[in-house]
Amino acid sequence: MNTSRRLRTAAPAAAPAAVLLAAALLAGCAGTGGSGGGEPELGPVEVNPATAALSLPMDAYTDTEAERIRMGQVQQALVSRCMARYGFTYEGVRSAEAPGTGPEDRHAYLFGLADPAYAAAHGYDRSAGEGSRAKPAAPPLSDSAYVVMNGERPGEQSGRAPDANTEEEAALVDSGLTAAGQKVPAGGCGREGYRKLYAPTKDSVDLLFTFGLASEAHDRSRQDSRVVDALDKWSSCMDKSGYAGIESPYDVVEKLGLQDDKGGPKAVTAAKADVACKREVNLVGIWGAVEKAYQERLVEEHAETLALYKEQREARFRLAASLA
Protein backbone atom coordinates (compact mmCIF):
# COMPACT_ATOMS: atom_id res chain seq x y z
CA MET A 1 0.00 0.00 0.00
CA ASN A 2 1.35 3.39 -0.94
CA THR A 3 1.02 5.71 2.05
CA SER A 4 2.95 8.65 0.63
CA ARG A 5 0.78 11.76 0.30
CA ARG A 6 1.08 15.36 -0.80
CA LEU A 7 1.45 17.69 2.01
CA ARG A 8 -2.94 18.72 2.83
CA THR A 9 -25.30 37.95 11.34
CA ALA A 10 -26.67 38.67 8.41
CA ALA A 11 -29.67 36.55 7.57
CA PRO A 12 -28.90 34.37 4.54
CA ALA A 13 -30.58 35.45 1.35
CA ALA A 14 -33.18 33.13 -0.12
CA ALA A 15 -31.63 30.72 -2.60
CA PRO A 16 -32.65 31.29 -6.22
CA ALA A 17 -34.84 28.58 -7.72
CA ALA A 18 -32.10 27.81 -10.24
CA VAL A 19 -29.68 27.01 -7.41
CA LEU A 20 -32.21 24.72 -5.72
CA LEU A 21 -32.79 22.91 -9.00
CA ALA A 22 -29.05 22.57 -9.61
CA ALA A 23 -28.60 21.14 -6.11
CA ALA A 24 -31.30 18.54 -6.73
CA LEU A 25 -29.75 17.56 -10.04
CA LEU A 26 -26.27 17.30 -8.56
CA ALA A 27 -27.51 15.09 -5.75
CA GLY A 28 -28.66 12.58 -8.34
CA CYS A 29 -25.63 12.82 -10.60
CA ALA A 30 -23.84 9.51 -11.05
CA GLY A 31 -20.18 9.12 -11.86
CA THR A 32 -18.53 5.74 -11.72
CA GLY A 33 -19.57 5.51 -8.08
CA GLY A 34 -17.05 2.87 -7.06
CA SER A 35 -13.74 3.26 -5.29
CA GLY A 36 -11.84 3.28 -8.57
CA GLY A 37 -11.36 6.22 -10.94
CA GLY A 38 -13.93 8.65 -12.20
CA GLU A 39 -16.17 11.06 -10.39
CA PRO A 40 -18.02 9.64 -7.39
CA GLU A 41 -21.74 9.86 -6.85
CA LEU A 42 -22.84 12.58 -4.49
CA GLY A 43 -25.02 12.41 -1.45
CA PRO A 44 -27.37 15.28 -0.56
CA VAL A 45 -26.19 18.68 -1.73
CA GLU A 46 -27.12 21.33 0.81
CA VAL A 47 -27.90 24.87 -0.26
CA ASN A 48 -25.40 27.38 1.11
CA PRO A 49 -24.53 25.53 4.32
CA ALA A 50 -22.54 27.32 6.99
CA THR A 51 -18.96 26.02 6.99
CA ALA A 52 -19.27 25.32 10.73
CA ALA A 53 -22.01 22.82 9.87
CA LEU A 54 -19.90 20.89 7.36
CA SER A 55 -19.02 17.37 8.44
CA LEU A 56 -16.39 15.51 6.44
CA PRO A 57 -15.18 11.91 6.90
CA MET A 58 -11.61 12.91 7.72
CA ASP A 59 -12.84 15.00 10.68
CA ALA A 60 -12.96 11.75 12.68
CA TYR A 61 -9.17 11.49 12.37
CA THR A 62 -8.29 15.15 12.82
CA ASP A 63 -7.58 16.92 16.10
CA THR A 64 -9.72 19.87 17.06
CA GLU A 65 -7.96 23.12 17.91
CA ALA A 66 -8.18 22.30 21.62
CA GLU A 67 -6.79 18.80 21.05
CA ARG A 68 -3.96 20.14 18.91
CA ILE A 69 -2.93 22.62 21.60
CA ARG A 70 -3.20 19.92 24.27
CA MET A 71 -0.97 17.54 22.29
CA GLY A 72 1.61 20.31 22.00
CA GLN A 73 1.56 20.67 25.77
CA VAL A 74 1.90 16.91 26.24
CA GLN A 75 4.87 16.76 23.89
CA GLN A 76 6.49 19.60 25.83
CA ALA A 77 5.90 17.74 29.11
CA LEU A 78 7.60 14.64 27.68
CA VAL A 79 10.60 16.72 26.63
CA SER A 80 10.78 18.29 30.10
CA ARG A 81 10.69 14.87 31.77
CA CYS A 82 13.49 13.68 29.53
CA MET A 83 15.62 16.71 30.38
CA ALA A 84 14.98 16.12 34.08
CA ARG A 85 16.57 12.66 33.81
CA TYR A 86 19.85 14.43 33.09
CA GLY A 87 19.47 17.01 35.83
CA PHE A 88 18.07 19.90 33.77
CA THR A 89 14.96 21.88 34.59
CA TYR A 90 13.34 22.76 31.30
CA GLU A 91 9.91 24.34 31.03
CA GLY A 92 10.13 24.91 27.30
CA VAL A 93 8.27 27.46 25.24
CA ARG A 94 5.01 28.58 26.77
CA SER A 95 2.48 28.56 23.96
CA ALA A 96 0.82 31.87 23.13
CA GLU A 97 -2.14 29.90 21.80
CA ALA A 98 -5.31 29.20 23.71
CA PRO A 99 -8.34 27.23 22.59
CA GLY A 100 -11.10 29.36 21.10
CA THR A 101 -14.09 30.14 23.26
CA GLY A 102 -16.75 29.65 20.58
CA PRO A 103 -17.74 26.65 18.49
CA GLU A 104 -14.95 25.46 16.23
CA ASP A 105 -15.23 26.04 12.49
CA ARG A 106 -12.44 23.85 11.16
CA HIS A 107 -13.61 24.30 7.55
CA ALA A 108 -14.04 28.09 7.69
CA TYR A 109 -11.64 28.74 4.79
CA LEU A 110 -11.66 25.36 3.05
CA PHE A 111 -13.35 26.91 0.02
CA GLY A 112 -12.22 30.47 0.64
CA LEU A 113 -14.09 33.04 2.70
CA ALA A 114 -17.73 31.98 3.03
CA ASP A 115 -19.28 33.77 6.03
CA PRO A 116 -21.25 36.86 4.90
CA ALA A 117 -21.24 38.43 8.38
CA TYR A 118 -17.47 38.02 8.76
CA ALA A 119 -16.87 39.34 5.24
CA ALA A 120 -18.90 42.47 5.98
CA ALA A 121 -17.11 43.08 9.27
CA HIS A 122 -13.51 42.05 8.56
CA GLY A 123 -13.04 41.40 4.86
CA TYR A 124 -10.22 38.87 4.42
CA ASP A 125 -8.51 39.56 7.75
CA ARG A 126 -8.47 36.11 9.37
CA SER A 127 -6.81 37.40 12.55
CA ALA A 128 -9.46 40.03 13.37
CA GLY A 129 -10.22 40.08 17.08
CA GLU A 130 -7.53 37.54 17.99
CA GLY A 131 -4.88 39.98 19.17
CA SER A 132 -1.16 39.31 18.92
CA ARG A 133 0.06 35.74 19.10
CA ALA A 134 3.78 36.32 18.91
CA LYS A 135 5.63 33.11 19.65
CA PRO A 136 7.71 33.38 22.83
CA ALA A 137 11.44 32.82 22.52
CA ALA A 138 12.78 29.45 23.61
CA PRO A 139 14.65 29.54 26.93
CA PRO A 140 18.44 29.71 26.57
CA LEU A 141 20.37 26.45 26.96
CA SER A 142 23.84 25.85 28.34
CA ASP A 143 26.16 23.87 26.10
CA SER A 144 25.58 20.71 28.15
CA ALA A 145 21.79 21.18 28.10
CA TYR A 146 21.98 21.80 24.36
CA VAL A 147 23.62 18.39 23.89
CA VAL A 148 20.86 16.65 25.81
CA MET A 149 18.08 18.55 24.08
CA ASN A 150 19.36 18.11 20.51
CA GLY A 151 21.51 14.99 20.61
CA GLU A 152 24.46 16.85 19.11
CA ARG A 153 27.17 19.24 20.26
CA PRO A 154 26.82 23.00 19.70
CA GLY A 155 28.29 24.06 16.38
CA GLU A 156 28.03 20.65 14.75
CA GLN A 157 26.40 20.47 11.36
CA SER A 158 22.71 19.92 11.94
CA GLY A 159 21.27 16.63 10.73
CA ARG A 160 24.53 14.69 10.94
CA ALA A 161 23.98 13.20 14.42
CA PRO A 162 22.41 9.72 14.79
CA ASP A 163 18.61 9.79 14.98
CA ALA A 164 15.66 7.38 14.83
CA ASN A 165 12.20 7.49 13.31
CA THR A 166 10.48 5.63 16.16
CA GLU A 167 11.10 5.14 19.87
CA GLU A 168 11.39 1.42 19.25
CA GLU A 169 14.19 2.09 16.76
CA ALA A 170 15.82 4.64 19.07
CA ALA A 171 16.49 1.91 21.63
CA LEU A 172 18.94 0.39 19.13
CA VAL A 173 20.65 3.65 18.09
CA ASP A 174 23.74 4.94 19.90
CA SER A 175 23.91 8.73 19.89
CA GLY A 176 27.59 8.57 20.90
CA LEU A 177 26.87 11.13 23.63
CA THR A 178 26.54 10.88 27.41
CA ALA A 179 25.38 13.23 30.16
CA ALA A 180 25.03 12.65 33.89
CA GLY A 181 26.45 9.18 33.36
CA GLN A 182 23.68 8.21 30.92
CA LYS A 183 23.41 7.84 27.17
CA VAL A 184 21.73 10.77 25.48
CA PRO A 185 18.79 9.56 23.37
CA ALA A 186 19.15 9.62 19.60
CA GLY A 187 18.12 13.08 18.44
CA GLY A 188 18.10 14.31 22.04
CA CYS A 189 15.13 14.94 24.30
CA GLY A 190 13.46 17.02 21.63
CA ARG A 191 13.15 14.02 19.35
CA GLU A 192 12.37 11.64 22.20
CA GLY A 193 9.37 13.73 23.22
CA TYR A 194 8.03 13.60 19.69
CA ARG A 195 8.64 9.86 19.28
CA LYS A 196 7.02 8.91 22.59
CA LEU A 197 3.87 10.76 21.59
CA TYR A 198 3.65 10.20 17.84
CA ALA A 199 5.98 7.33 16.90
CA PRO A 200 6.45 4.88 19.76
CA THR A 201 6.61 1.68 17.64
CA LYS A 202 7.56 0.55 14.16
CA ASP A 203 3.90 0.31 13.13
CA SER A 204 3.18 3.93 14.10
CA VAL A 205 1.29 5.65 11.30
CA ASP A 206 2.92 8.86 10.11
CA LEU A 207 1.35 11.88 11.80
CA LEU A 208 0.82 13.52 8.40
CA PHE A 209 -0.91 10.51 6.85
CA THR A 210 -4.46 11.76 7.47
CA PHE A 211 -3.52 15.30 6.47
CA GLY A 212 -2.20 13.87 3.23
CA LEU A 213 -5.45 12.02 2.55
CA ALA A 214 -7.52 15.15 3.20
CA SER A 215 -5.22 17.14 0.91
CA GLU A 216 -5.52 14.51 -1.80
CA ALA A 217 -9.32 14.56 -1.57
CA HIS A 218 -9.28 18.34 -1.86
CA ASP A 219 -6.98 18.24 -4.89
CA ARG A 220 -9.25 15.73 -6.59
CA SER A 221 -12.37 17.74 -5.76
CA ARG A 222 -10.90 20.86 -7.37
CA GLN A 223 -10.62 18.96 -10.65
CA ASP A 224 -14.11 17.45 -10.47
CA SER A 225 -16.36 18.68 -13.29
CA ARG A 226 -19.09 19.72 -10.87
CA VAL A 227 -16.71 21.91 -8.87
CA VAL A 228 -15.09 23.27 -12.04
CA ASP A 229 -18.55 24.28 -13.28
CA ALA A 230 -19.43 25.96 -9.98
CA LEU A 231 -16.10 27.82 -9.96
CA ASP A 232 -16.69 29.02 -13.53
CA LYS A 233 -20.08 30.39 -12.47
CA TRP A 234 -18.57 32.01 -9.38
CA SER A 235 -15.86 33.62 -11.54
CA SER A 236 -18.49 34.95 -13.95
CA CYS A 237 -20.44 36.39 -11.03
CA MET A 238 -17.29 38.10 -9.73
CA ASP A 239 -16.68 39.48 -13.22
CA LYS A 240 -20.16 41.02 -13.22
CA SER A 241 -19.45 42.45 -9.76
CA GLY A 242 -16.43 44.31 -11.11
CA TYR A 243 -13.71 41.79 -10.29
CA ALA A 244 -12.60 40.35 -13.62
CA GLY A 245 -10.03 37.62 -14.20
CA ILE A 246 -10.31 35.84 -10.83
CA GLU A 247 -10.64 32.11 -11.39
CA SER A 248 -10.29 30.80 -7.83
CA PRO A 249 -11.47 31.98 -4.40
CA TYR A 250 -7.92 31.39 -3.18
CA ASP A 251 -6.57 34.06 -5.53
CA VAL A 252 -8.78 37.03 -4.60
CA VAL A 253 -6.46 38.71 -2.10
CA GLU A 254 -3.40 38.44 -4.36
CA LYS A 255 -5.21 39.33 -7.58
CA LEU A 256 -6.70 42.46 -6.01
CA GLY A 257 -3.51 43.47 -4.20
CA LEU A 258 -5.08 43.30 -0.74
CA GLN A 259 -2.16 41.64 1.04
CA ASP A 260 -1.31 44.74 3.10
CA ASP A 261 -4.87 45.71 4.00
CA LYS A 262 -6.99 42.58 4.24
CA GLY A 263 -9.53 44.22 6.52
CA GLY A 264 -9.79 47.65 4.89
CA PRO A 265 -12.78 49.10 2.99
CA LYS A 266 -11.58 47.80 -0.38
CA ALA A 267 -11.13 44.31 1.04
CA VAL A 268 -14.51 44.35 2.75
CA THR A 269 -16.26 45.36 -0.48
CA ALA A 270 -14.52 42.59 -2.42
CA ALA A 271 -15.17 40.04 0.32
CA LYS A 272 -18.87 40.82 0.36
CA ALA A 273 -19.06 40.34 -3.41
CA ASP A 274 -16.99 37.14 -3.16
CA VAL A 275 -19.29 35.56 -0.56
CA ALA A 276 -22.44 36.77 -2.34
CA CYS A 277 -21.26 35.08 -5.54
CA LYS A 278 -20.47 31.87 -3.66
CA ARG A 279 -24.01 31.88 -2.33
CA GLU A 280 -25.50 32.68 -5.73
CA VAL A 281 -23.97 29.55 -7.27
CA ASN A 282 -24.08 27.43 -4.07
CA LEU A 283 -20.33 26.92 -4.23
CA VAL A 284 -19.94 25.72 -0.63
CA GLY A 285 -22.85 23.29 -0.92
CA ILE A 286 -21.61 21.76 -4.18
CA TRP A 287 -17.93 21.70 -3.32
CA GLY A 288 -18.64 20.38 0.18
CA ALA A 289 -20.64 17.47 -1.24
CA VAL A 290 -17.94 16.68 -3.79
CA GLU A 291 -15.16 16.90 -1.21
CA LYS A 292 -17.09 14.56 1.08
CA ALA A 293 -17.49 12.01 -1.72
CA TYR A 294 -13.74 11.94 -2.44
CA GLN A 295 -12.92 11.67 1.26
CA GLU A 296 -15.35 8.76 1.61
CA ARG A 297 -13.57 7.01 -1.26
CA LEU A 298 -10.15 7.47 0.32
CA VAL A 299 -11.40 6.39 3.75
CA GLU A 300 -12.66 3.17 2.17
CA GLU A 301 -9.40 2.61 0.27
CA HIS A 302 -7.26 3.13 3.39
CA ALA A 303 -9.60 1.69 6.01
CA GLU A 304 -6.98 -0.58 7.59
CA THR A 305 -4.35 2.14 8.03
CA LEU A 306 -6.93 4.63 9.27
CA ALA A 307 -8.21 2.15 11.86
CA LEU A 308 -4.65 1.77 13.15
CA TYR A 309 -4.17 5.54 13.13
CA LYS A 310 -7.37 5.98 15.15
CA GLU A 311 -6.19 3.45 17.75
CA GLN A 312 -2.87 5.26 18.06
CA ARG A 313 -4.58 8.65 18.32
CA GLU A 314 -6.71 7.34 21.18
CA ALA A 315 -3.53 6.04 22.82
CA ARG A 316 -2.10 9.56 22.63
CA PHE A 317 -5.17 10.90 24.39
CA ARG A 318 -4.75 8.29 27.13
CA LEU A 319 -1.11 9.29 27.51
CA ALA A 320 -2.17 12.93 27.76
CA ALA A 321 -4.64 12.04 30.52
CA SER A 322 -1.97 10.13 32.44
CA LEU A 323 0.31 13.19 32.44
CA ALA A 324 -2.41 15.58 33.63
**Between 112 and 138, where is the model more confident?**
112
- The pTM score is 0.82
* Residues 80-99: tens digit of each pLDDT: 999 999 999 998 766 555 55
What does the pLDDT look like over 218-256, one tens digit per residue? 999 999 999 999 999 999 999 999 999 999 999 999 999
Tens of pLDDT, residue by residue over 131-181, are: 555 666 777 899 999 999 999 999 887 778 899 999 999 999 999 999 999
Among candidates 180, 190, 213, which has minimal Cα distance to 297?
A: 213
